[in-house]
Amino acid sequence: MNDSKKTDDLALYHHEECPFCKKVRDVMNQLGLEMDLRDIRKDDDNRQELVNGGGQQKVPCLRIDKPDGSSEWMYESDDIAQYLLERFDTSNETRH
């Protein structure tokens, strides 16, 4: 995977039955991203991490780890999709 698709600083809290989560996973697949997926129904540690870190037990939530050690917890599937597209979608870039 080239550096432009690196997602080491990202994790998606989700569960399989959630349609908003599916929407985000579809965008990830469309962009060819592999990401740390943390299912909150299959693993209670993931659920607790989400509640303790983000403050709400709501999915999807994208965790963005910052270089200074802090994390941003992004709720709302539309905001997450837009963030991923802005950061990773290179299909409209002009090639020289």
Judged by the rule CB under 6 A, the positions of this chain that interact with ligand GSH are 18, 20, 57-60, 76-78
Question: Would you say the C-alpha torsion 1, 74, 37, 15 has a positive or negative sign?
Answer: negative
Between 5 and 58, CB nearer to ligand GSH: 58
Rounded to an integer, what distance in angstroms lies between the CA atom of residue 37 and that of residue 85? Answer: 18
Between 31 and 59, CB nearer to ligand GSH: 59
CB of 9 to ligand GSH, least distance (A): 21
Radius of gyration of the chain (CA): 14
CB of 6 to ligand GSH, least distance (A): 24
User: Is the omega angle on the peptide bond into residue 19 within 30 degrees of 0, that is, cis?
Assistant: no
CB of 31 to ligand GSH, least distance (A): 18
